């Protein structure tokens, strides 16, 4: 099977990337369009209010907020929120039990109202106004100047309305939005509110349509690339000039045409000596489209894109620019930990930076449509992207899920997903669903094909997958055979059977592992276990515990390494997320996941280094666990694991060799880990020395037993922020003893103080059982660490963060803010 040479894309940005405040953007040299991002001066009220959409309604007592906004993230956590008695079919549960943290135990259920004002200067009858929402959770109803403009249902969808008839020129326009989150509507924390951007686009009636540009490269050689540009427009007597520029802004090619077919121009433009886009060199071009009517410039947009070719071929797998590459991917939910679902570019960039160090090359948006900011960053930083649409089709997983809207809304939601994002070179595959109950029977197979056909109609250049967990059912129903790419969620024991049964000649690990662990927490004895529970509601960071349906990472590694027809994996998950606290979703308090390779604060767990030792081929990895503070375990067996890119290593305890371990294929764990299972604890120092293939010592690491906590140490991911009122620095706070040795079991209560040109935003410690609220300036350390988020103001200057705790030497860090 060979699914098209695929091309490139990048969404029609409409200068979105340039409009990051309530500002005006002007295209080209003429004032052809304005993009207003409505961020400030919103009023918000939680709870339904009669007549809140009316112009004369008095909202002066409502809360003043900035959008993007998540109304529920400030909590408090509450066991009673969305409490459910249910057997989760996806988890193979047969008996219903009480679930208390499934959706994060945060108060997202209910109605919320937003109101703001904006003006459209110089509005005239030859203008058109588009109101664009990039995500509103959920069931938004939109009112403008007291009249209902329209409504949508899916909280993850991008949508827009032409509101020209409702606009008043040179005076305030009153925008009101009603949102409603139902109980039992999600399997994780969905967030609440206008959590992504709201924009007003003012342009001429003769103009380029919203998301109307589609760029592909159907031919690429070493010397030339053919760039195909399709541009949908409105108006008469039109001419289109498209200029292609390189990453430095130099003009490399252009084309002029007045040949229009229906409402669409099509241009084929040659780019000589193309620089290709890929994870190691994410090179981006831009296409500026200028639309003329009677030789008068009417509209101009800029679209970034990449020149790249993708291909999927039976038995060989996925290739990018003619080179076979496997997906080393992670699944990501849309929340950003302690700041919730409200989109923030700095937080997204930090996540992707951590994933780059991990060696990941791919991301799956799970289980919903990604933010446009996330895709922009993936284009820039070089991540392959699997863009997903739905968690439900016609059959329900939760009582008030997407199945309520599937028949009426699925097609328009898919169309908007594709049109809004298809120009992103990072996107190399679509997913139409995840573990849908429709996997059984012929009706489900028909739905799979129907959705896939919509994706193909709107974008014939990329294949479609579904994350399937009922593999035998999809073999029997024909569901799996319909798909371009069969995606298996877990079920490692069925890979061979699925490969033989499905005609595509390849299998994607669309969701893998679901290993659970708590950062810095270790349990004894050290054994593999499924659904293991402990009194402290934590999971062991020896990385041998998984869920009933899942497995440890090593089992997936074997398939990835030994089967060329397995085209890669997307691990569940890259970061912990709010909600779904398996294996403790029937226990309280427990309100966030244990699946992450990094925790909710973004701090790497031990498992991070297991994946890094295999995925990061540019940097060496040598990581040892556990910590060496085990008062009361003297003389007891305390196994030591080493995750390393080296093949062998020697362990020393207080200078005494515990022997050399070498990776071997006798078991999956011995193939990918070095393990000394019989080490007995004695305080002091453990050291690991790694050897190369010739037996030469090439690297070493030590872990020491720490004394009492003495001093706080602060380290920021960035020490210079943009003075834009929303940039973030993530400051990791650790505690050390008098000798500077980290104290890995410290749980001190800390307090945070921020002065200068910034403010305290939030904190997180990665403890899934913590009920401390993120936005309050105090929190306990967990396993000796936590992270403080500091946000810039709009003034240049300096931020000073001070962290203190009883009996500890205070820590302080300075962060500059500049206009750049």
CA distances from 540 to 83, 322, 550 (A): 27, 42, 16
The CA angle 339-130-245, to the nearest 5 degrees, is: 80
Residues 6+ apart with CB under 8 A from 803: 712, 714, 731, 733, 750, 751, 752, 753, 788, 810, 811, 812
Residue with tokens 């130099």: 250
CA distances from 370 to 181, 354, 420, 598 (A): 19, 19, 11, 20
Between CA 607 and CA 515 the distance in angstroms is 9
Question: 585: helix, coil or strand?
Answer: coil
Q: Is residue 373 within 8 Å of residue 343, measured between CB atoms?
A: yes
Rounded to 10°, the helix 372-381/345-358 angle is 40
Closest residue by Cα to residue 446 from 488, 478, 402, 407: 478
Residue with tokens 């899942």: 550
Between CA 136 and CA 230 the distance in angstroms is 29
Q: Is residue 765 within 8 Å of residue 66, measured between CB atoms?
A: no
Between CA 558 and CA 543 the distance in angstroms is 16
**Token couple for 213:** 């540009």
Residues 6+ apart with CB under 8 A from 453: none
DSSP single-letter state for residue 619: S
Query: Hey, how many other C-beta atoms are within 10 angstroms of the C-beta on 654?
Result: 11
Question: 108: helix, coil or strand?
Answer: coil
End-to-end Cα, the chain, rounded Å: 49
Locate all alpha helices (DSSP H) within 366-424, ordered by sequence.
372-381, 406-421
Q: What is the dihedral of CA 81, 87, 93, 97, to 10 degrees?
A: 60
Q: What is the dihedral of CA 603, 606, 607, 609, to 10 degrees?
A: 90
Residue with tokens 């799970």: 366
Residues found in the chain: 820
SS3 content of the chain, % helix, strand, coil (to 5): 15, 40, 45
Between CA 345 and CA 364 the distance in angstroms is 18
Q: What burial letters (b/e) apply to 510-546, b meaning 16+ CB within 10 Å?
A: bbbbbbbbbbbbbbeebeebebbeeeebbbbbbbbbb
- Give the residue numbers annotated as catalytic, written as ranges: 435, 511
Between CA 721 and CA 729 the distance in angstroms is 7
Give 202's Cβ-side CA count (13 Å radius): 22
């Amino acid at each position: 099977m060979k699914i098209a040479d695929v091309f490139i894309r990048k969404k029609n940005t409409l200068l979105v990337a340039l409009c990051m405040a309530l500002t005006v953007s002007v295209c080209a040299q003429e004032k052809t369009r304005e993009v207003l991002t409505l961020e400030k001066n919103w009023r918000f009220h939680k709870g339904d209010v009669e007549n809140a959409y009316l112009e004369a309604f008095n909202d002066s007592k409502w809360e003043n907020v900035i959008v993007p906004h998540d109304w529920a993230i400030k909590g408090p956590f509450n066991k009673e929120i969305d409490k459910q008695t249910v057997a989760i079919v996806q988890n193979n549960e047969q008996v219903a039990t009480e679930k208390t943290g499934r959706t994060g135990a945060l108060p997202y259920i209910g109605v919320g109202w937003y109101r703001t004002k904006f003006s459209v200067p110089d509005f005239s009858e030859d203008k058109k106004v588009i109101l664009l929402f990039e995500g509103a959770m959920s069931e938004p109803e939109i009112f403008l100047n007291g009249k209902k403009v329209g409504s949508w249902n899916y909280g993850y969808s991008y949508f827009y309305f032409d509101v020209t008839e409702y606009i008043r020129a040179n005076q305030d326009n009153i925008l009101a939005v009603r949102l409603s989150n139902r109980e039992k509507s999600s399997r994780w924390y969905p967030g609440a509110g206008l959590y992504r951007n709201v924009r007003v686009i003012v342009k001429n009636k003769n103009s380029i349509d919203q998301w109307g540009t589609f760029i592909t490269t159907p031919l690429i050689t070493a010397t030339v690339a053919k760039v195909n540009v399709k541009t949908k427009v409105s108006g008469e007597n039109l001419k289109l000039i498209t200029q292609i520029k390189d990453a430095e802004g130099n003009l490399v090619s252009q084309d002029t045409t007045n040949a229009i077919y229906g409402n669409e121009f099509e241009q084929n433009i040659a780019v000589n000596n193309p620089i290709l886009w890929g994870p190691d060199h994410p090179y981006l071009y831009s296409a500026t489209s200028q639309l003329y009517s009677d030789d008068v410039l009417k509209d101009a947009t800029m679209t970034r894109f990449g020149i790249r070719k993708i291909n999927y071929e039976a038995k060989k797998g996925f290739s990018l620019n003619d080179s076979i590459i496997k997906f080393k991917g992670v699944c990501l939910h849309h929340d950003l930990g302690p700041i919730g679902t409200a989109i923030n570019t700095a937080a997204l960039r930090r996540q992707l930076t951590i994933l780059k160090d991990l060696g990941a090359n791919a991301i799956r948006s799970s289980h919903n449509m990604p933010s446009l900011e996330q895709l922009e960053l993936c284009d820039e930083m070089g991540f392959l992207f699997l863009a997903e649409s739905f968690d439900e089709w016609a059959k329900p997983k939760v009582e008030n899920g997407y199945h309520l809207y599937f028949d009426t809304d699925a097609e328009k939601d898919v169309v908007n997903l594709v049109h809004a994002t298809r120009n992103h070179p990072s996107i190399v595959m679509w997913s139409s669903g995840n573990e849908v109950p429709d996997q059984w029977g012929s009706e489900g197979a028909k739905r799979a094909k129907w959705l896939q056909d919509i994706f193909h109609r709107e974008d014939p250049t990329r294949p479609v997958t579904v994350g399937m967990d009922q593999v035998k059912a999809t073999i029997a129903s024909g569901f799996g055979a319909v798909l371009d790419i069969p995606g298996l969620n877990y079920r490692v024991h069925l890979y061979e059977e699925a490969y033989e049964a499905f005609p595509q000649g390849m299998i994607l690990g669309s969701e893998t592992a679901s290993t659970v662990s708590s950062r810095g927490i270790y349990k004894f004895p050290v054994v593999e276990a499924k659904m293991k529970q402990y009194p402290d509601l934590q999971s062991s960071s020896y990385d041998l515990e998984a869920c009933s349906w899942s497995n440890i990472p090593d089992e997936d590694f074997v398939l990835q390494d030994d089967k060329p027809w397995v085209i890669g994996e997307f691990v569940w998950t890259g970061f912990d997320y709010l909600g779904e606290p398996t294996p403790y979703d029937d226990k309280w308090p427990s309100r966030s996941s244990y699946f992450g390779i990094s925790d909710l604060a973004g701090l790497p767990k031990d498992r991070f280094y297991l994946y890094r030792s295999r995925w990061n081929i540019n940097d060496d990895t040598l990581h040892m666990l556990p910590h060496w503070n085990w008062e009361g375990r003297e003389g007891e067996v305390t196994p030591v694991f080493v995750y390393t890119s080296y093949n062998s290593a020697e362990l020393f305890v207080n200078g005494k060799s515990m022997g050399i371990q070498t990776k071997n294929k006798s078991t999956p764990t011995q193939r990918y880990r070095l393990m000394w299972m019989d080490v007995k604890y004695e305080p002091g120092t453990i050291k690991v020395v790694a050897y190369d293939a010739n037996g030469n010592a090439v690297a070493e690491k030590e872990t020491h037993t720490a004394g009492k906590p003495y001093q706080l140490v602060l380290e920021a991911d960035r020490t210079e922020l943009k003075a834009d009122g929303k940039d973030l620095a993530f400051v990791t706070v650790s505690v050390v003893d008098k000798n500077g040795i980290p104290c890995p079991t410290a749980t001190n209560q800390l307090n945070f103080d921020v002065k200068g040109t910034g403010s305290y935003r939030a904190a997180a410690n990665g403890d899934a059982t913590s009920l401390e609220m993120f936005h309050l300036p105090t929190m306990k350390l967990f396993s000796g660490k936590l992270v403080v988020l500091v946000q810039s103001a709009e003034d240049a200057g300096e931020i000073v963060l001070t962290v203190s705790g009883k009996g500890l030497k205070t820590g302080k860090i300075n962060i500059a803010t500049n206009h750049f």
